[in-house]
């Protein structure tokens, strides 16, 4: 038994755990009202996908892991929903890959930034970026553009789970290798990604970690092969097909 009072074997365990975590995130001042609505949109797409990691999403997670391995500087961007849903999983990914963690909010307030940073530290994060706010993403208005200069600002690989479309496009336009987790394959975030992972963040992040561990001793040529064999358009098309033919209930 864990933080929700149902056994892990319960068929709705993952869904109940997700609900519990996102509601707790609201209580803690981490998740916004807009974040709850976004969570519901994600639930609908996940139902359509059959609440499973489809093979193309698993492949994309492996490609993301290869990018983390080859990165000069990788950052995992964390917003209110990601912090609520998988704080421990984000810390584990950062530990496994040597990536930095940066808090990055669409509706940025100093209070929420601090609460999310605290929440991540409670889950084992040592350093949390995002509070310096001394860098900017070109092409966005001031509030939306703010990042840390030595975090997302200078990173060559950025994982942005559940990112807003405008910001995902602006990050891609900076030439960064952008890894996106998004359940809607036709969202602008998924479309602008170097590596779109059409999966639930609660499944995708531990899956990237697992692939990163598996690829720990892989030579650079093998990592390049993993990356070169991946086509984002094909992955998005496969995910769209899975959603359209999936279970609506």
Residue 189 annotated as lining a ligand binding site:
yes
Distance separating alpha carbons of residues 249 and 246, to the nearest angstrom: 9
User: Least CB distance from residue 248 to a second copy, whole Å?
Assistant: 4
DSSP 106: S
| Residue 197: strand, helix, or coil | strand
Determine which residue in the list 7, 11, 40, 219 makes contact with a second copy, applying CB under 8 A: 40
What's the length of the chain? 249
Size of the site for a second copy (CB under 8 A): 27
User: Least CB distance from residue 79 to a second copy, whole Å?
Assistant: 15
Determine which residue in the list 17, 30, 42, 147 makes contact with a second copy, applying CB under 8 A: 42
Tokens of 135: 């860098």
Distance separating alpha carbons of residues 92 and 85, to the nearest angstrom: 14
| Residue 98: strand, helix, or coil | coil
Judged by CB, which is closer to a second copy: 173, or 186? Answer: 186
User: In the chain, how long is the greatest CA-to-CA distance?
Assistant: 47
| Residue 31: strand, helix, or coil | coil
Residue 19 annotated as lining a ligand binding site:
yes
Determine which residue in the list 6, 14, 28, 43 makes contact with a second copy, applying CB under 8 A: 43
Residue 184 annotated as lining a ligand binding site:
yes
Is there binding between residue 22 and a second copy (CB under 8 A)?
Answer: yes
| Residue 10: strand, helix, or coil | coil
Neighbours of 216 (CB within 10 A): 11
User: Least CB distance from residue 40 to a second copy, whole Å?
Assistant: 2
C-beta of residue 128 within 8 angstroms of C-beta of residue 117? yes
Distance separating alpha carbons of residues 79 and 90, to the nearest angstrom: 11
Q: Per-residue x/- marks for a second copy, 219-248, CB under 8 A?
A: ---------------------x--xxx-xx
Which residue stretch of 21-29, 90-98, 134-142, 225-233 sits at the interface with a second copy (rule: CB under 8 A)? 21-29
Residue 182 annotated as lining a ligand binding site:
yes
Tokens 């064999």 identify what position? 229
Determine which residue in the list 4, 6, 16, 26 makes contact with a second copy, applying CB under 8 A: 26
Q: Per-residue x/- marks for a second copy, 177-206, CB under 8 A?
A: -------xxxx-------------------
Distance separating alpha carbons of residues 77 and 88, to the nearest angstrom: 14
C-beta of residue 83 within 8 angstroms of C-beta of residue 25? yes
Judged by CB, which is closer to a second copy: 38, or 147? Answer: 38
Which residues contribute to the site for a second copy (CB under 8 A)? Answer: 19, 22-23, 26, 33-34, 36-45, 184-187, 240, 243-245, 247-249
Going by the annotation, the residues of the binding site for ATP are 19, 41, 182-184, 188-189, 200-201
């Amino acid at each position: 038994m864990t933080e929700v009072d149902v056994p892990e074997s319960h068929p709705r365990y993952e869904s109940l755990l997700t609900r519990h975590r996102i509601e707790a995130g609201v209580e803690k001042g981490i998740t916004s009202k807009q974040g709850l609505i976004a969570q519901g949109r994600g639930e609908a797409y996940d139902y359509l996908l059959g609440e499973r990691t489809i093979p193309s999403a698993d492949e994309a997670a492996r490609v993301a892991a290869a990018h983390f391995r080859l990165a000069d500087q990788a950052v995992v961007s964390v917003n209110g929903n990601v912090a609520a849903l998988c704080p421990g999983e984000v810390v584990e990914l950062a530990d496994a890959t040597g990536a930095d963690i940066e808090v990055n909010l669409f509706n940025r307030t100093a209070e929420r930034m601090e609460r999310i940073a605290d929440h991540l530290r409670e889950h084992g994060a040592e350093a949390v970026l995002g509070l310096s706010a001394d860098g900017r993403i070109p092409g966005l208005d001031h509030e939306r553009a703010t990042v840390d200069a030595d975090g997302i600002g200078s990173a060559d690989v950025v994982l942005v789970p559940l990112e807003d479309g405008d910001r995902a496009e602006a990050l891609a336009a900076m030439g960064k290798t952008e890894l996106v987790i998004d359940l809607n394959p036709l969202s602008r975030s998924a479309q602008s990604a170097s590596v779109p992972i059409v999966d639930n963040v609660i499944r995708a992040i531990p899956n990237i970690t697992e692939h990163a561990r598996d690829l720990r001793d892989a030579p650079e040529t093998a990592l390049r092969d993993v990356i070169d064999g991946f086509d984002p358009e094909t992955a998005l098309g496969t995910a769209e097909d899975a959603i359209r033919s999936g279970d609506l209930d």
